[in-house]
Amino acid sequence: MADNHADALEAQRARVEHIRGYLDIEAKRQLLEDLEGRAADPTLWDDPDAAREVTTELSRVRDDLERHDTLSERLDDLEVLNELAQEMDDEDSAAEVARGLTSMARDIDRLEVATLLSGEHDASDAIVSIQAGEGGVDAMDWSEMLQRMYLRWATNRGFSAEVYDNSWGEEAGLKSTTFAVSGPDAYGLLSAEHGVHRLVRISPFDGNARRQTSFAMVDVVPLLPEVDQQVEVPDEDIRVDVYRSSGPGGQSVNTTDSAVRITHIPTGIVVSCQNEKSQHQNRAAAMRVLTAKLDELERQKRQEELDELRGGRQKVGFGSQIRSYVLHPYQMVKDLRTEHEVGNPDAVLDGSDLDEFIEAELRRRAEERARDD
Q: What is the pLDDT of residue 303?
A: 64
Region 143-152 average pLDDT? 98
| CB-CB contact of 131 with 143 (8 Å) | yes
Is the pLDDT score of 193 beyond 90?
A: yes
Name the DSSP letter for residue 373: -
In terms of CATH architecture, what is 6-114? Answer: Up-down Bundle (1.20)
Closest to 334 (Cα-Cα) out of 199, 214, 220, 203 = 199
User: Which of 30-39, 205-214, 308-317, 341-350 comes out lowest in average pLDDT?
Assistant: 308-317
User: Which of 58-72, 78-92, 170-184 comes out lowest in average pLDDT?
Assistant: 58-72
Q: What is the pLDDT of residue 314?
A: 38
Share of the chain above pLDDT 70, in %: 90
| CA distance linking residue 212 with residue 209, whole number of Å | 9
Region 329-358 average pLDDT? 96
Q: What is the pLDDT of residue 319?
A: 56
Choice between 118 and 89, residue whose per-residue pLDDT is larger: 89
Question: What's the whole-model pTM score?
Answer: 0.72
User: Which of 31-35, 117-121, 330-334 comes out lowest in average pLDDT?
Assistant: 117-121
Q: What is the pLDDT of residue 309?
A: 44
Domain 6-114 shares a fold with domain 125-372: no
| CA distance linking residue 274 with residue 111, whole number of Å | 36
Burial 85-94 (b: 16+ CB within 10 A, else e): bbeeeeeebb
User: 125-372, which class in CATH?
Assistant: alpha beta
Q: What is the pLDDT of residue 229?
A: 53
Domain boundaries, the chain: 6-114, 125-372
Q: What is the pLDDT of residue 372?
A: 75
Would you give the distance in Å from CA 302 to the centre of its chain? 23
